[in-house]
Structure 1
Amino acid sequence: MTRPSIFEFAGGEPAFLALAVAHHRRCLQDPVLNHPFSHPGHPEHEQRLASYWAEVFGGPTRYSRSYGGQPGMMRLHAGQGMEDDLGERFVRCFLLAADDAGLPEDPEFRASLAAYMRWAVGDVLAYSRSGSRVPTELPVPRWSWDGLQDDNPA
């Protein structure tokens, strides 16, 4: 029996949209994250975020096809500078948003979400310093039950 992807286990695109909406709401409620999240952004921010996370966890490659893939996502965050505890706050909001969105409470599933987000925050923070340059060829990471997959096309 083949194990479903994390994307499928979560509930597919509707689950990731619910997660993105809940996460955005949580970030707006946080006193540090509120500032970057309260600025007018793209009107489809939540849908784009949902598409990105869906792709990361084994869903369709809509984000890569439509929104610039990993380089596009990283450029949105590069050179912004970050508060010392911004990453920790972001992870906490993400994990609470999984509850808000009604995602499965399965411990292994939740551990996979947490491990991904901690890794992803570290990846984004690596480009947060002023003047950071994002490589033009970065694949969207693919995260499975076993963590980061090495078979991303370059």
Structure 2
Amino acid sequence: MTRTVYEAAGGDAGLTRLAAAWHARVLADEVVAHAFSHGYHPEHTERLAAYWAEALGGPTTYSEQYGDESFVVRLHSGNGQHEEMDRRAVACFDQALADAGLDADETLRRTLHDYFAWATTTVMARYPDSADDVPAGLPIARWSWNGPQD
């Protein structure tokens, strides 16, 4: 039986470690930290881990407790184009994979990298002009070993 990406990443515990490591990395990055300069939810790490868990084949905790994809995409919309920030956020993610101990398995590391790069540069960057452009009711964007899922 094939494990989900969520299971291979260590489930909730592994993704919480990854979210904490990524958050620490981006707050230390002079460019990416700007995205958090307005502040962030005190449970940002837990919420981010729950979002990634759901996207990677785990429980639907994020959509049941916090919001849907439209909510998440709106948080990242209306800020114009920011390719340099996105590139650096992905680099921070790659470093966080090592920090969280999720870089030893090359297939898992590549899959997580590809997911985060896709989510950052495609899903979250889709509405640069206005958060009002984001349609209501979007489901959480899913990713598997084979890439984006319908």
| TM-score, length of structure 2 as denominator length | 0.93
Runs of 4+ residues over 4 Å off in structure 1: none
Once the two structures are superposed, the pairs formed by residues 10-25 of structure 1 within 5 Å of their partners are 10-25=9-24
* 2:137 alignment partner AA: E
> Which residue of structure 1 aligns with residue 129 of structure 2?
129
- Report Cα offsets for 1:127-152 as digits up to 9, x if no partner: 122465111121111111111112xx
SS in 1 for 2:124: helix
Shift of 1:124: 1.1
Q: In the TM superposition, what whole-angstrom CA distance separates every residue of 1:29-69 from its partner, at most 9, and x where no partner exists?
A: 11101112243211111110000001111110011111111
Corresponding position of 2:87: 88
* More deviation, 4-13/115-124: 115-124
CA contact (8 A) 1:20 1:49 kept: yes
Q: Distance in 2 between matches of 1:120 and 1:112?
A: 12
8 Å CA contact 1:28–1:38 kept in 2: the answer is no
- Percent identity, aligned pairs only, is 46
The aligned residue for residue 112 of structure 1 is 111
Name 2:142's counterpart in structure 1: 142
Structure 2: distance between partners of 1:30 and 1:104: 21
User: CA-atom RMSD, angstroms?
Assistant: 1.4
Matched pairs, number: 149
Matched, 1:66 2:61: no
Q: Which runs of 5+ in 1 are unaligned?
A: none
Taking structure 1 as the reference length, what is the TM-score of the superposition?
0.90
Kindly provide the amino acid, as one letter, of the partner of residue 127 in structure 2.
Y
Partners of 1:104 and 1:85 in 2: how far apart? 24
